[in-house]
Amino acid sequence: MSDACCYWFTGLSGAGKSTIAGELFPLLRERGQQPFILDGDIIRQGLCRDLGFSEADRAENQRRVAEVAAILLQAGVSPIVAFISPLAAARAEARRIVGAERFFEIYINTPLEVAEARDPKGLYKKVRAGLIQEFTGISSPFEAPEKPDCVVPTVGRTPRECARQIVDELLQTEKE
């Protein structure tokens, strides 16, 4: 049984965080971990429904999720956090809360043009129509990680390939 770890995804809306999280889930189970996906969209409907998208609210959103991730780790569960997490300082804070030795920052690296063309939730269309303000990558900053534990490009690859890369790079020594 592998030790529980936190897989913290960061990337633009439409980058592929939720999709790759879903692919990573069974791969971690095969390796003896007990994963659990914390998806930004779902957390925002419940635990963080009082929060908006200002810088302060985004930081608080992330802080709460990091605390939840830390609790899951205590229970032996491996959280896969699929949050845009646009700000480097808030990601550093998450690493501190979770514990650096069990925290993997994973950059789901998809260029804005590609994420916008995918537009899986129709959000970019609404942004361009002026219906959504403070949207990451367009009217709100995205600070790409400088030293992530893993960089996952998605263009020209399947979500499955992306999930496999994460396992291959981060769990090399735990494959048995």
Q: Which of 54, 85, 139, 140 is catalytic?
A: 85
Q: Which residues contact 48 (CB under 8 A, 6 or more apart)?
A: 60, 61, 64, 65
13 is in an annotated binding site: yes
Looking at residues 112 to 131 of the shown chain, list those that interact with ligand ADP (rule: CB under 6 A).
118, 120
| Nearer to ligand ADP (CB atom), residue 3 or residue 41 | 41
- Choosing from 5, 6, 20, 138, the residue that interacts with ligand ADP (CB under 6 A) is 20
Q: Which stretch binds ligand ADP (CB under 6 A): 52-60, 64-72, 92-100, 158-166?
A: 158-166
- Exposed, middle or buried, 173 (CB in 10 Å: 0-12/13-18/19+)? exposed
68/161 Cα distance (integer angstroms): 28
Under rule CB under 6 A, how many of the chain's residues touch ligand ADP?
17
4 φ/ψ sector (left φ>0, alpha ψ -120 to 50, else beta): beta
| Nearer to ligand ADP (CB atom), residue 33 or residue 116 | 116
> Would residue 54 show up in a list of annotated catalytic residues for this protein?
no
Q: Does 159 participate in binding ligand ADP (rule CB under 6 A)? A: yes
Which positions lie near ligand ADP, rule CB under 6 A? Answer: 11, 13-20, 82, 118, 120, 154, 157-159, 162
